[in-house]
Amino acid sequence: MLYRPMPKTGDELSILGFGCMRLPMNGGEIDQDRAIAQIRNAIDNGINYLDTAWAYHHGASEPLLSKALQGGYRDRVRIATKLPTWLVHDRADMDLYLNTQLERLGTDRIDYYLVHSLDGHSWDRISALGVGEFLDQAMRDGRIVNPGFSYHGLPEDFARIVDAHPWVFCQIQYNYLDQEFQAGTAGLKYAASKGLGVVVMEPLRGGNLGLPTPPPAVAALWDQAPAKRSPVEWALRWVWNHPEVTVVLSGMNEEAHIAQNLAIAEKALPGSLTGEELDLVDRVRTTYRELMRVGCTGCAYCMPCPAGVQIPKCFDFYNKMHMFGNEQEAKFMYAAFTSGLTSDGNTGFASQCVACGECVEKCPQGIAIPDMLAQVVADMEGAGFEERLAGVRQYLKRELK
């Protein structure tokens, strides 16, 4: 295992972190024996960063991790978990969740504590509720060691959140396709320039970049590489090639995946891919982009829409469905993120577009936004849409329990 230091503290973290969001299941519940064995095996092989959250597995991930870390494992690792921002209504809620998490995890301190899933809007809200003072207080009394945040917002809101608090680290989505999405490369470099460690999530874009059978045009490119690597290895090595990256999280729930990722992590020094190899990854990226239905980069210059349409989100899930073929997942995620059920309650469906045209001239990609939104409506809001919305409500109700 290779290790990289957290810039502000020098804490040596394994470059591969174990994500506890997608643990192995059996009969609708976490397969406890298997999950515990996997986590302990990962630690025995050098992983020392374990990432969970209040919401993962409807609240069952943190207690499972507590069990896995009994028998001397707790002292060998750093635990990362997250404040469920969207459930917090006042300052007292923050202590309530943190204290419950300490109990769930069977520990007296959270080594890396993140304000979960921020964007510009949720940061403004939780900041006004006093999250900065909460983090400072929890650090003073020892419940939190290092404060951080995870980010799912627009590129332009990232830097102001980095600058708003003395964070030690942040967590961003990053992979070779998402270089301009959310924080992106600019955000990675900005955070590093401010001395923050960067934990990367979604290095395989929800597993899609690691599919053993990629689209034929992509497979043909990988076949040209002088070094034969799996799609998973190309995707992970590309992220680790960046010296600004501290830890890469992988949600591993198959023993074979853990072994594969551990082996890849052995070789992943920063700057270890050749120029030729980086060019090849760029060509794969271009090919995936050609498979996209809409050339939207997620820049959000078209926003806000006076009718409330979440234009970049609409195009993101629409593209995902056509690029990777995970139709059910893409449609469910579209329903979850445009319904407002997971955020501020305001809907942003493509079908809200009244074709006023206000967004069109703001788009640097020259996208005929109203026309493309009509296609999104046809594909994503057709048959079964009401049932998917009901499914999202049901999912969130379980999470709130």
Q: Site mask, ligand SF4, residues 286-315, x = CB under 6 A?
A: ----------xxxxxxx--xxx-x-xx--x
Assess whether the previous peptide bond of 304 is cis (omega < 30° from 0). Answer: yes
Binding ligand SF4 (rule: CB under 6 A), the pick from 232, 359, 380, 389 is 359
Q: Select from 268, 281, 263 the least CA-distant residue to 222.
A: 281
Q: Which is nearer to ligand SF4, 136 or 156 (CB)?
A: 156
* Span from 1-9, 42-50, 133-141, 354-362 in contact with ligand SF4 (CB under 6 A): 354-362
Compute the distance between CA of residue 199 and CA of residue 167 in angstroms, rounded to an integer. 13
Binding ligand SF4 (rule: CB under 6 A), the pick from 92, 96, 291, 355 is 355
Contact between 120 and ligand SF4 (CB under 6 A)? Answer: no
Number of H helices, E strands in the chain: 15, 12
Contact between 367 and ligand SF4 (CB under 6 A)? Answer: yes
Angle subtended at Cα 170 by Cα 164 and Cα 173, rounded to the nearest 5 degrees: 125
Q: Select from 197, 166, 38, 49 the least CA-distant residue to 111.
A: 49
Contact between 217 and ligand SF4 (CB under 6 A)? Answer: no
Given a contact cutoff of 8 angstroms between Cβ atoms, the answer to whether 168 and 148 are in contact is: yes
b/e map of 78-117 (b: 16 or more CB within 10 Å)? bbbbbbbbbebeeeeebeebbeebbebbebebbbbbbbbb
Q: Which is nearer to ligand SF4, 107 or 297 (CB)?
A: 297
Looking at residues 150 to 169 of the shown chain, list those that interact with ligand SF4 (rule: CB under 6 A).
none
Contact between 354 and ligand SF4 (CB under 6 A)? Answer: yes
**Using only C-alpha atoms, what is the Rg of the chain?**
21
Minimum distance from residue 353 beta carbon to ligand SF4 (Å): 3
User: By CB under 6 A, how many residues form the interface with ligand SF4?
Assistant: 28
128-136 long-range contacts, CB within 8 A, separation 24+: 129/88, 129/89, 129/90, 129/91, 129/94, 130/91, 130/94, 131/83, 131/88, 131/94, 132/164, 132/165, 133/91, 134/91, 134/94, 134/95, 134/98, 135/165
Q: Please state, in angstroms and as integers, the Cα–Cα distance from residue 379 to each residue in 176, 332, 373, 374, 384, following that order.
A: 26, 12, 10, 9, 11
Binding ligand SF4 (rule: CB under 6 A), the pick from 5, 243, 357, 384 is 357
Minimum distance from residue 352 beta carbon to ligand SF4 (Å): 7
The length of the chain is: 401
Minimum distance from residue 182 beta carbon to ligand SF4 (Å): 12
Q: Which is nearer to ligand SF4, 329 or 358 (CB)?
A: 358
Binding ligand SF4 (rule: CB under 6 A), the pick from 356, 368, 378, 400 is 356
Structure tokens given for 88:
């917090």
Contact between 353 and ligand SF4 (CB under 6 A)? Answer: yes
Minimum distance from residue 340 beta carbon to ligand SF4 (Å): 16
Binding ligand SF4 (rule: CB under 6 A), the pick from 17, 203, 210, 370 is 370
Contact between 170 and ligand SF4 (CB under 6 A)? Answer: no
Q: Which is nearer to ligand SF4, 93 or 180 (CB)?
A: 180
What residue ranges bind ligand SF4 (CB under 6 A)? 296-302, 305-307, 309, 311-312, 315, 353-359, 362-363, 365, 367, 369-370, 373
